[in-house]
Amino acid sequence: MTIITTIEDLRILAKKRVPKMFYDYADSGSWTESTYRANESDFQKIKFRQRVAVNMEERSTATTMVGVPVAMPVAIAPTGLTGMQHADGEILAARAAQKFGVPFTLSTMSICSIEDVAASTGGHPFWFQLYVMRDRRFIESLIDRAKAANCSALVLTLDLQVLGQRHKDLKNGLSAPPKLTLPNIINMMTKPRWCMGMLGTSRRHFGNIVGHVSGVSDMGSLSAWTASQFDPQLNWGDVEWIKNRWGGKLIIKGIMDPEDARLAVNSGADALVVSNHGGRQLDGAQSSIEALPAIVAAVGKEIEIHLDSGIRSGQDVLKAIALGAQGTYIGRPMLYGLGAMGEAGVSKALDIIHKEFDVTMAFCGRTRVSDVDSTILLKGSYPIAI
């Protein structure tokens, strides 16, 4: 067996083991995918300053995110259809995150339900990501279920009022529920490990929705409901309503502009996430790392700032922290690990990112996350606020 040393190794293995329609769902962007690609390539442009003869003993990668102690400044990002990358995927990823000591964020569009994940983690707190639907009674119910499941933070995603056009999904027939076309069925038959896992679980639908919405009792009735539910009228007044209903830690995800960052601060949120949805929404937008400095300059002293979209290594995490983020999220690296090797693959992805973060921090002459700033980066190689 090939020795796994990088996130790229996990990606290659996941591509072999996960059916094409679900692998493409994870590993793609909208329209021309220019923003999807820029999210990664803009990280690569940033260079470190190597330092020597600095005492590197007793390093620590530990810090906090919204007051939660974390083993490193990384959380598992919310990703839809995670349970289609591997059977019971959300449960497995949550267990891996819990063991490692980083937050796991469950998506509204998960396969395993809030209750499934809560039961599998022994009541250990996790975070829940909320999409705002037109059906406000359903949103109230989701928030109440997240409270009952001991979720310790609500991650409110604001950049999915309309759906970006994702060409691979359209060509593959990826929908809710997925279309079992002849090409898809034939491709699934070439993935016996995945098929056996799916045969062994009853969790094959959107667990947070099916059975919890009037008239949606199975996958067949789900499609029409989801097609009409993402709310294009979502506004900051809704954010205030959600914050009051939730009453706990609130993280606002999908901020790419300093003006919206200011509105996030005014909403009373505890943190915001600089994110372009992994390049899956507005193609032609800035990369997340390019957008970060201006947002830090605008509101960095008033609200905790996190970042996702484009992180593929511990070095990327360190670059984001150096430019002012206090935490980051990994989506695709987790999905690659899950698709490749289940729970062990997610643990492996976290191990890889942690080691890369720790060793690179040492090479840059730092021993604590709190000591990391832009002086570890080569001037002229990183974006600055304009």
Active-site residue, from 86, 124, 205, 277? 277
Tokens 């992180």 belong to residue:
311
Q: Confirm if 369 and 117 have CB atoms less than 8 A apart.
A: no
What does the block give as tokens for 157?
A: 């995603």
* Rounded distance between C-alpha atoms, residue 70 and residue 100, angstroms: 9
CB half-sphere exposure, 148, CA atoms < 13 A: 11
Q: Confirm if 339 and 191 have CB atoms less than 8 A apart.
A: no
Instruction: List Cβ neighbours of 352 (8 Å cut-off, separation of 6 or more).
Output: 4, 5, 6, 7, 10, 313, 314, 333
- Binding residues for FMN, by number, are 78-80, 107, 129, 157, 253, 275, 308-312, 331-332
* Rounded distance between C-alpha atoms, residue 134 and residue 138, angstroms: 9
The strand pairing partners of 74, in sequence order, are: 328
* Rounded distance between C-alpha atoms, residue 67 and residue 41, angstroms: 31
CA distances for 264 relative to 24, 198, 277, 346, angstroms: 32, 40, 17, 31
* Rounded distance between C-alpha atoms, residue 88 and residue 384, angstroms: 42
What does the block give as tokens for 294?
A: 């201006």
* Three-state secondary structure call for residue 160: coil
Instruction: List Cβ neighbours of 186 (8 Å cut-off, separation of 6 or more).
Output: none
- Binding residues for glyoxylate, by number, are 25, 131, 166, 277, 280
Is residue 167 part of the annotated active site? The answer reads no
Q: How do strand 327-330 and strand 105-106 relate by DSSP bridges?
A: unpaired
Q: Confirm if 8 and 14 have CB atoms less than 8 A apart.
A: no
- Binding residues, by number, are 25, 78-80, 107, 129, 131, 157, 166, 253, 275, 277, 280, 308-312, 331-332
* Rounded distance between C-alpha atoms, residue 219 and residue 84, angstroms: 14
385 Rama sector, left if φ>0, alpha if ψ -120 to 50, beta otherwise: beta
Q: Confirm if 221 and 234 have CB atoms less than 8 A apart.
A: no
Tell me the catalytic residues. Answer: 277
